[in-house]
Amino acid sequence: MDTVMIWAAFAIGIVSVLIAMSKYSWIKKQNPGGERLQEIGQFIADGAMAFMKREYKIMFFVVLAVVILLSVFKQGHEKVIAVSFVTGAILSGLAGLIGMKAATKANMRTAHSAKDGLIKALHVAFTGGSVMGLTVVGLALAGLALLTIIYTTVFGIEDLDFIVQIISGYSLGASSVALFARVGGGIFTKAADVGADLVGKVEAGIPEDDPRNPATIADNVGDNVGDVAGLGSDLCESYIAAIIGSMVLGAELVHDYRFVVLPIAIAAIGVLASIVGTLFVRTKEDGNPQFALNLGTMGASGLMLILIYPFLHMYVPAGLALPGTELVYSVNGIFLAIISGLIGGILIGIVTEYYTADNRKPVQMIAQQSMTGPATNIIAGLQVGMMATGLPVIILIIAIMSAYHFAGLYGIAIAALGMLGTTGIQLAVDAYGPIADNAGGLAEMAKLDAIVRERTDKLDSVGNTTAAIGKGFAIGSAALTALALFVAYKETAGIEVIDVTKAEVVCGLLFGAMLPFVFSAILMGAVGRAAFKMIEEVRRQFREIKGILEGDTKPDYIACVDIATQAAISEMVVPSIAAVVIPVLVGFIGGKEMLGGTLVGVTASGVMLALFMANAGGAWDNAKKYIESGHFGGKGSVAHKASIIGDTVGDPFKDTAGPAMDIIIKLMSVVALIIAKMI
């Protein structure tokens, strides 16, 4: 193995974490605002911390159980896979925790600084996002590099196949924790959101984020544990899975150590590019913040490509045969595969933006259909969501075929890295949104000047396009990574072909295609049940605690946070564990080939549902905003009421079930990969 290269990656990872830490201390130094703002901010931070403590306690036991299983069932040296697993789990958990910490610190400071101007607020919010972005990629890279070094130098393992086998435990750890975080956080945030909206806005007639609503703190806590911490663990998982997927194929298909190290090197270059990219996100007081965000992300991707090309020239050996074809691996081939992924991801993002932006036809159509009531609003939203599977899948297919054409199956895995190489800055932009959103909530609750809310709303809407591209990357890379892991599974399991005209394969495929639907149903049911409890609690408080609606008495915020916490904790366990256990059961009962069919079914159906749910949810949300901005009757109109209903339906779609799909498809593949040799 190429130890120097891996040490360099480790160093870059550490640098990224150090920069993130310095940004974190910069944020802490900013003015946290007045007493009321601080008090509410502290409420939210405490609620989020309380939830995560309980969530992580449950996860601890699950991780422990898997470690025991891995140590018992894996033989000899393979037992060290448990070390990879624990490392992945801890780092993914840490990524979510740090992101949440930074966000709860940044949101009140963003609200306070928005008093002075848009640009200062943008800077604070984006720096908060950057802390998470750079921490996630830094930790993920450094951890992976360190494990590789330990296995090769300390344990002295030289067999490539074996190294990637035990390192894939790292991905399993990250994915398991990410699924818990996404599911738990997703249920929490939407239970609180739906509960707060339905009783507060609809029944009591008080505005969003009004401090008289007992569920409002829970709602804001939810944004931090779901949209921020969940997102952090999620992208950490995607990032790791994409790197490891490429590494495994490098070992299994190419059998050359340089193709195993290459993904780590590309990731390291991407981290450097991301760090530089964050520096571009600056603008003057009369500048365009949207432009600054785009410059940062696009600049980082561009820089990554510029740095990678000469690196590939130095590193990729000439003339290595592409197995199963007459082609050879070439510098240009691999570079073009990376570009295929990157362009594919950007295009999927642009399509996502088209289907969910309020200045485009689909959202305006939903808004128009809201005029005839909730039924037509819902039909229109479902229609837009289903339609939005079309172009992204075609783009994905073109990206896959191009990457395959340029660099074989290894190219498909590398294409995912093309999208996720710059996760550092991409995640910073993604996390910036909820921070700005939360700052707006805080401004409302702390009764800051109206101009503050206006500015945070503007901040929130800026970056939507960039965030849409992030979603495109998330779904696109999930599909590519799942395919790469699937191919890796086939190679590791020693299956000749996975022929879909065989009965067991087609049965596995049908079974796999069904799973994302049932998972989504379970998650939506969990949100529904939790929201129902929340609604009952809010109604109880309005009824029993005198003076809440008059603003004389404070509602019992903690009770609502507790309800959401308990519901999320109790509901997240079954689906998360099921996702790990099912591939094991299918493999041992139905055999290797049926499991192969299952993986492909889960991937196909999971990608469709992820696209469907993300786009329908986003479109409903923005149709509501479009109406609120004065169209089709504006606030309070029939159309507006209908659009609120659509938005509520879309919430569990886009923030609970949808994002879980991306994780499930990779988690199942990686579980299959790990048990492949035992079946």
Q: Is 608 in the site for a copy of itself (CB under 8 A)?
A: yes
The residue among 181 and 645 lying less far from a copy of itself, judged by its C-beta, is 645
Residues touching a copy of itself, count (CB under 8 A): 75
Q: What angle do CA 102, 108, 113 make, to 5 degrees?
A: 110
Q: Is 90 in the site for a copy of itself (CB under 8 A)?
A: no
The residue among 234 and 647 lying less far from a copy of itself, judged by its C-beta, is 647
Q: State how far Cα 293 lies from the chain centre.
A: 19
Q: Is 378 in the site for a copy of itself (CB under 8 A)?
A: yes
The residue among 67 and 657 lying less far from a copy of itself, judged by its C-beta, is 657
Q: Is 607 in the site for a copy of itself (CB under 8 A)?
A: yes
> Cβ distance 106 to 162 under 8 Å?
no
> Cβ distance 463 to 429 under 8 Å?
yes
Judged by CB under 8 A, the residue of 102, 160, 194, 548 near a copy of itself is 194
Q: How far is CA 99 from CA 51, 119, 437, 573, in A?
A: 14, 22, 15, 23
Half-sphere exposure of residue 268, counting CA atoms within 13 Å on the CB side? Answer: 22
Q: Is 597 in the site for a copy of itself (CB under 8 A)?
A: yes
> Cβ distance 167 to 77 under 8 Å?
no
Q: Is 275 in the site for a copy of itself (CB under 8 A)?
A: no
The partner residues of 321 in beta bridges, in order of sequence, read 328
Q: Is 293 in the site for a copy of itself (CB under 8 A)?
A: no
The residue among 81 and 531 lying less far from a copy of itself, judged by its C-beta, is 531
The residue among 226 and 385 lying less far from a copy of itself, judged by its C-beta, is 385
The residue among 271 and 396 lying less far from a copy of itself, judged by its C-beta, is 396
Q: Is 384 in the site for a copy of itself (CB under 8 A)?
A: yes
Q: How far is the CB of 110 from a copy of itself (least distance, A)?
A: 30
The residue among 72 and 394 lying less far from a copy of itself, judged by its C-beta, is 394
Q: How far apart are the C-alpha atoms of 426 and 429, rounded to whole Å? A: 5
> Cβ distance 367 to 613 under 8 Å?
no
Judged by CB under 8 A, the residue of 45, 108, 243, 535 near a copy of itself is 535
> How many CB atoms within 10 Å of residue 29?
9
What tokens appear for 67 in the block? 């470690």
Q: How far apart are the C-alpha atoms of 372 and 374, rounded to whole Å? A: 7
Residues 199-228 binding a copy of itself (CB under 8 A) are 202
Judged by CB under 8 A, the residue of 93, 226, 344, 374 near a copy of itself is 374
Which string of DSSP letters, residue by residue, matches 603-650? HHHHHHHHHHHHHHHHHHHHHHHHHHTTGGG-TTSHHHHHHHHHHHHH
Could you tell me which stretch among 240-248, 282-290, 604-612, 660-668 binds a copy of itself (CB under 8 A)?
604-612
User: Which helix (H) or strand (E) element contains residue 128?
Assistant: helix 118-149
The residue among 303 and 475 lying less far from a copy of itself, judged by its C-beta, is 475
Q: Is 386 in the site for a copy of itself (CB under 8 A)?
A: yes
The residue among 103 and 665 lying less far from a copy of itself, judged by its C-beta, is 665
Judged by CB under 8 A, the residue of 612, 614, 643, 666 near a copy of itself is 612
Judged by CB under 8 A, the residue of 18, 375, 581, 678 near a copy of itself is 375
Q: State how far Cα 668 lies from the chain centre.
A: 17
Q: How far apart are the C-alpha atoms of 495 and 497, rounded to whole Å? A: 6
Q: How far apart are the C-alpha atoms of 587 and 490, rounded to whole Å? A: 12
Q: Provide the strand spans (E) within 267-362.
A: 320-321, 328-329
Residues 464-523 binding a copy of itself (CB under 8 A) are 479, 483, 486-487, 490, 497-501, 503-507, 509-511, 513-514, 517-518, 520-522
Q: How far apart are the C-alpha atoms of 249 and 409, rounded to whole Å? A: 8
The residue among 387 and 549 lying less far from a copy of itself, judged by its C-beta, is 387
In three-state secondary structure terms, 329 is strand
The residue among 101 and 190 lying less far from a copy of itself, judged by its C-beta, is 190
Q: How far is the CB of 467 from a copy of itself (least distance, A)?
A: 23
Residues 389-408 binding a copy of itself (CB under 8 A) are 389-390, 393-394, 396-397, 400-401, 404
Q: What angle do CA 60, 607, 219 make, to 5 degrees?
A: 55
Q: How far is the CB of 562 from a copy of itself (least distance, A)?
A: 21
Which string of DSSP letters, residue by residue, matches 193-214? HHHIIIIIIIII-PPTT-TTST
The residue among 20 and 614 lying less far from a copy of itself, judged by its C-beta, is 614
The residue among 302 and 373 lying less far from a copy of itself, judged by its C-beta, is 373
Q: Is 410 in the site for a copy of itself (CB under 8 A)?
A: no
φ/ψ of residue 321, rounded to 5? -75, 140
The partner residues of 482 in beta bridges, in order of sequence, read none
Q: Is 577 in the site for a copy of itself (CB under 8 A)?
A: no
Judged by CB under 8 A, the residue of 532, 545, 549, 577 near a copy of itself is 532
Q: Is 373 in the site for a copy of itself (CB under 8 A)?
A: yes
Could you tell me which stretch among 153-161, 273-281, 328-336, 643-651 binds a copy of itself (CB under 8 A)?
643-651
Q: How far is the CB of 481 from a copy of itself (least distance, A)?
A: 13
Q: How far is the CB of 245 from a copy of itself (least distance, A)?
A: 14
Q: How far is the CB of 462 from a copy of itself (least distance, A)?
A: 29
Q: How far is the CB of 409 from a copy of itself (least distance, A)?
A: 7
Task: Check residue 633 and give left, alpha or beta (phi > 0: left; psi -120 to 50: alpha).
Answer: left
Length of the chain: 679
Q: How far is CA 357 from CA 327, 625, 626, in A?
A: 43, 10, 9
Q: Is 585 in the site for a copy of itself (CB under 8 A)?
A: no
Residues 312-371 binding a copy of itself (CB under 8 A) are 369
